Amino acid sequence: MPDRTGPPVPTPRVGALLVISAAALFGTIGTARVLGPEAPSASVGAVRLAIAAGLLVLLAAPRGWAPLVAAWRLRAVWLAGLAQAAFNITFLGAVTRTGVAVGTLVAIGCTPILTGLAARRFSRSWLLATGLALVGLTALLSEGLRSGVTVSGILFALGASASYATFILSSTALASSDVHMTAKLAGIFTVAAAALAPALLLWPLDWSRTPSGLAMVVYMAVAATVVAYSLFNRGLRSVPPGSAATLGLTEPLVAALLGVVVLHEVLSPVSWVGAGVVLVALAVMVRTTRRAEDESSPDA
């Protein structure tokens, strides 16, 4: 049953662009984190989720408490919320144990495969786009892959990938719910924030009272969480989960490019070629969604 209380369902092409835009915002998190002060990753994640959850509850409040209560009754909301909390822990654990490049490659790169297998929806176009994207991502992060790899780091990265895939699949399941999208997002992130709330007591929060720390966490909560996940979940209403996970590979591409432009990092020629291959893969996926849109139109 379509979500009649939310915005209209986007076309597959618009949905793909919404997912790409969301992934691009996700890709800014690493740069924002580097530009911010030194702080425990667990407390940064907990404060980010707490602020995001509070904002989403405020946005859902004008419709009353009934939609939010209805959202909390949905099993998929709890799965997505716990998956979001788990991703915050496992992804940060992966990049600190085995490096940003390897952690990102395994965590984000394996997600389309796990999501596609779990959803049991794949096509030759999806296989082509996903394969190209993984090859390009490997080349893009080739310099960082030379760093040491630990078993614990890989396990954390696989956990992050499974968490991300679970979030995508759960959010896709919520697309058919009659509960308003803002209430669903508020439900998801209040669950995630509650799961990580103990970190607010176990780690120091002095960093959050500095101008740079406050700017960092507010940006991460507003732009890279509230806005990004609103775009992402709306895109999931018309984009299959496996395709959304492949389009989500925009995230490490944007992160790498921001590293060059903002942090003055240097990419090798192989990395630039990899970035180009990822762009080609994303173009293939967008073209695939457009073809699906054309085939499903009344004039087709």
pLDDT at residue 295 tops 60: no
- Give the per-residue pLDDT at 3: 42
pLDDT category of residue 52 using cuts at 50, 70 and 90:
very high
pLDDT at residue 108 tops 60: yes
Give the predicted TM-score (pTM) of the model. Answer: 0.82
Q: What value does the mean pLDDT of the chain take? A: 83
Higher per-residue confidence, 292 vs 197: 197
pLDDT at residue 7 tops 70: no
Stretch 38-67: mean pLDDT: 91
Q: Which two tokens stand for residue 221?
A: 């909560």
pLDDT category of residue 124 using cuts at 50, 70 and 90:
confident
Lowest mean pLDDT segment, chosen from 68-72, 142-146, 195-199: 142-146
Stretch 81-107: mean pLDDT: 80
Helix axes 12-26 and 269-296, enclosed angle (nearest 10) = 150
Where residue 137 falls (left for φ over 0; alpha for ψ -120 to 50; beta otherwise) is alpha
pLDDT at residue 104 tops 90: no
The residue whose two tokens read 């004039």 is 299
Question: Where exactly are the structural domains of the chain?
Answer: 12-289
83-109 per-residue burial string, b: 16 or more CB within 10 A, e: under 16: bbbbbbbbbbbbbebbbbbbbbbbbbb
pLDDT category of residue 145 using cuts at 50, 70 and 90:
low
pLDDT at residue 2 tops 50: no
User: Of 25-29, 46-50, 113-117, 275-279, which has the strongest mean pLDDT?
Assistant: 46-50
pLDDT at residue 229 tops 50: yes
Share of the chain above pLDDT 70, in %: 87
- Give the per-residue pLDDT at 99: 66
Rounding to the nearest 10 degrees, give the CA dihedral for residues 231, 235, 240, 245. Answer: -30
pLDDT at residue 208 tops 80: yes
**CA–CA distance, 196 with 176 (Å, rounded to integer):** 28
Lowest mean pLDDT segment, chosen from 18-22, 157-161, 173-177, 265-269: 265-269
Instruction: Look at residues 141, 158, 152 and name the one whose alpha carbon lies nearest to residue 107.
Output: 158
Instruction: Name the amino acid, one letter, at 294.
Output: D
- 3-class secondary structure per residue, the chain: CCCCCCCCCCCHHHHHHHHHHHHHHHCCHHHHHHHCCCCCHHHHHHHHHHHHHHHHHHHHHHHCHHHHHHHHCCHHHHHHHHHHHHHHHHHHHHHHHHCHHHHHHHHHHCHHHHHHHHHCCCCHHHHHHHHHHHHHHHHHCCCHHHCCCCHHHHHHHHHHHHHHHHHHHHHHHHCCCCCCHHHHHHHHHHHHHHHHCCHHHHCCCHHHHCHHHHHHHHHHHHHHHHHHHHHHHHHCCCCCHHHHHHHCCHHHHHHHHHHHHCCCCCCCHHHHHHHHHHHHHHHHHHHHHHHHHHHHCCCC
pLDDT category of residue 19 using cuts at 50, 70 and 90:
very high
Q: Is 146 exposed, middle or buried (0-12, 13-18, 19+ CB in 10 A)?
A: exposed
Stretch 14-43: mean pLDDT: 88
User: What pLDDT digit, counting tens, does each position of 59-77 carry?
Assistant: 999 988 999 999 999 999 9
